[in-house]
Structure 1
Amino acid sequence: MKPKKNPQLDVRRNSLLYFFVGMTLVLLMAYLALEWKTYYKADSWDVSQKIDEELIEDATILKIKLPDPPKPKIRTPPKIEVAEDDEDVVETVIEPNDVDQDTKVADVEDVAVAEDDIPEEIPFVLIENAPVFPGCEQEKTEEDKRTCFQEQMLKHIRKNFRYPEIAQEMGLQGRVSVIFTVQKDGSIGNVRLKGPHESLEKEAARIIFKLPKLQPGKQRGTPVKVPYSIPITFKLN
């Protein structure tokens, strides 16, 4: 016959309860160990209270006498003397100058006319009456005279053009920018040149100075100086 186990004598009975109780005790002991505090019963270690009284010195009190503040300066008010009138003052009466029906109008001959402020020099593209090249006088409109002027300038350059020998030998070529001014009497002046070589500039200046006398440009009927620019190209064949 098989013996039966007594459930009251089972070792594993209530094992989970014993585990939680044991863990609680261990955590409680660890908490007490960490939070445990101890205090010294005597204060023999506190040396801050034991100070030799001989080292204590009395603080010396210094009394400094400050100088008295400066006294304010009292200024004496100026003495005002009333002078007697030497002469009787005559008051000036200002009369109104408003214009009414009785005001006399000045004559036209008495009115001064300001002169037109005309510049001494006006560019070719802005002047009212451009300089006229000989042979362009028959043109009727101002635009036709400007076109004729430019055409005659090109004909004059082609007619008098001569390539400098030194420039040919050196193989020099390029464009010379020429700016000259048609003076008030129609002559040519203030010639300025800029080119790749001096020999080409001299040839361009020679061509410009051979221009005939022109009719001067006019602004409001008054002769003025007119600058004009034209390029002269030197190119070897």
Structure 2
Amino acid sequence: MKRLLVITCILLGGIGFAQAQQTSPVWPGCEDSGNVKKCFNQKLSQHVRENYVYPKNDAGEYVRGKVTVSFEIDENGKVNVLDIKGKNQQVNAAAEKMINKIPEMEPGTLQGEPDAREFTVPFNF
């Protein structure tokens, strides 16, 4: 019975240790944050507010729309746009421009090695 208990503890400890070996990308300024994911989301929201430029149509009116952007933070911490889905091409182009302005960051890791992470975010501009 003791052996079974020891083996179970070792297996459960190993599973917990394996899960703890994955980290999220770290946005500049979030290095000392207690919650890197929350800080990442706050910095992304701030980035959108400060960097999205509403396109205008031929009549000079702002164009609005919904868009879903898929991007990755690669192994080097650089942002790569993977896909943009939206009905209006002007909004899609403005969203891509804004995402491409995300600063380089510390990449996420898996088992201690840099690892690319994908994100899909819906926006309503």
Shorter chain as denominator, the TM-score bin is 0.7 to 0.9
Structure 2: gaps (5+ residues): 1-20
Amino acid at match of 1:137: E
Whether contact under 8 Å (1:188, 1:213) holds in the other structure is: yes
2:111 aligned with 1:220? yes
2:49 aligned with 1:151? no
Whether contact under 8 Å (2:56, 2:63) holds in the other structure is: no
1:56-205 counterparts in 2 under 5 A?
128-140=22-34, 144-166=35-57, 169=60, 172-205=63-96
Over alpha carbons, which structure has the higher Rg?
1
SS, match of residue 165 in structure 1: coil
Whether contact under 8 Å (1:182, 1:216) holds in the other structure is: yes
User: How far apart are residue 188 of structure 1 and its match?
Assistant: 0.9
Structure 1: gaps (5+ residues): 1-126
Whether contact under 8 Å (2:55, 2:62) holds in the other structure is: no
User: How far apart are residue 190 of structure 1 and its match?
Assistant: 4.0
**Larger helix fraction of residues:** 2
User: How far apart are residue 228 of structure 1 and its match?
Assistant: 0.9
Whether contact under 8 Å (2:54, 2:62) holds in the other structure is: no
User: How far apart are residue 189 of structure 1 and its match?
Assistant: 1.3
**Larger strand fraction of residues:** 2
User: How far apart are residue 172 of structure 1 and its match?
Assistant: 4.3
Residues 164, 221 of structure 1: alpha-carbon distance in 2 compared, 3 angstrom cutoff: same
Distance (whole Å) between structure 2 residues aligned to residue 223 and residue 233 of structure 1: 32
SS, match of residue 215 in structure 1: coil
Equivalent residues, number: 105
User: How far apart are residue 166 of structure 1 and its match?
Assistant: 1.6
Whether contact under 8 Å (1:181, 1:188) holds in the other structure is: yes
Indicate the percent of aligned positions where both proteins have the same amino acid: 29
Distance (whole Å) between structure 2 residues aligned to residue 214 and residue 168 of structure 1: 39
Whether contact under 8 Å (1:167, 1:173) holds in the other structure is: no
Deviations 1:132-169 (A, max 9, x none): 000000113xxx10000001000000001211012875
Amino acid at match of 2:113: T
Q: TM-score, normalised by structure 1?
A: 0.42
Whether contact under 8 Å (2:81, 2:99) holds in the other structure is: no
The match for 1:230 is 121
Of structures 1 and 2, the one with the larger relative CO (CA 8 A, separation 6+) is 2
